[in-house]
Structure 1
Amino acid sequence: MKKFIIQKTPFVVPTTDGKLIEEHFGNATNENKDISIAHMIAPPGWSEPFQTPEFDEYTYIIKGKKQFIIEDKTVVLSAGESIKILKNTRIQYSNPFEEPCEYIAICTPAFSMDLVYRENE
């Protein structure tokens, strides 16, 4: 019985906003509903609608900066910084900066459109 999995071909999530999402483990890649791990690159000017997900989300910034509006507080993270957003928290993610933002996102349970609850969609 194999005791490990090496991911060499993550699932590239189709997007229409220029954001690269490579899911290494999670619902789309291997039907794992407990956790999702994704490598992402958000282009300059990118943003998502506000959402109130039913999962905790951890974000680690590799390069650039990313803006979070958490309830009514604006937080900006830079390379080398990380954050945990608790489930059922209203949040908006964006990159209003001039350079792309590269980061890792981990969701528990795994990211699912059925659990994200984006506004205006």
Structure 2
Amino acid sequence: MIAALWKPVQRDAGRHYTWGGDNDGWHLLQRHDLSVIAEHVAPGGREQRHHHGHARQFFYIVSGRAVIELAGREVALAAGQGLEIPPGLPHRFSNPFDEAVDFLVVSQPSTRGDRTDD
């Protein structure tokens, strides 16, 4: 178990999934109490509005720009900016821009089984 602490994590095929057509995600850390995902969203990509009953999330933009709809209000984010989303708050990540966006989403606890589409 402790040997895994010294093994770097990277985006690779074994951790990869796709969503919404042209969008990619990589599970960097998958535990029941904490999840870290790297995502790449193509121009025009967006997710379904939803909320989590227990998970608190933090979205951090690595490159590009994005908009997060949060309880009916839009918050624009650029590279180097992040936004916390508390449990129960409806939200939707979108990329209405002409360039792809790369970001990290950290969830505590994991969102597995904790998502309800609105």
Q: Same fold (TM over 0.5)?
A: yes
Question: Match for residue 49 of structure 1?
Answer: 48
Identify, as 1 or 2, the structure richer in strand.
2
Displacement, 1:16? Answer: 4.3
Query: Contact between 2:27 and 2:36, CA under 8 Å: does it hold in 1?
Result: yes
Question: Match for residue 102 of structure 2?
Answer: 102
Question: Match for residue 17 of structure 1?
Answer: 21
| SS class of match (1:76) | strand
| SS class of match (2:114) | helix
Percent sequence identity over matched residues?
Answer: 18
TM-score (norm 1): 0.85
Question: Any unmatched runs of 5+ in structure 1?
Answer: 27-31
Aligned length: 113
Runs of 4+ in 1 over 4 A off after TM superposition: none
Question: Match for residue 90 of structure 2?
Answer: 90
The Cα RMSD (Å) is: 1.6
Give the 3 Å change call, closer, same or farther, for CA 72–22 of structure 1 in structure 2.
Answer: same
Question: Any unmatched runs of 5+ in structure 2?
Answer: none
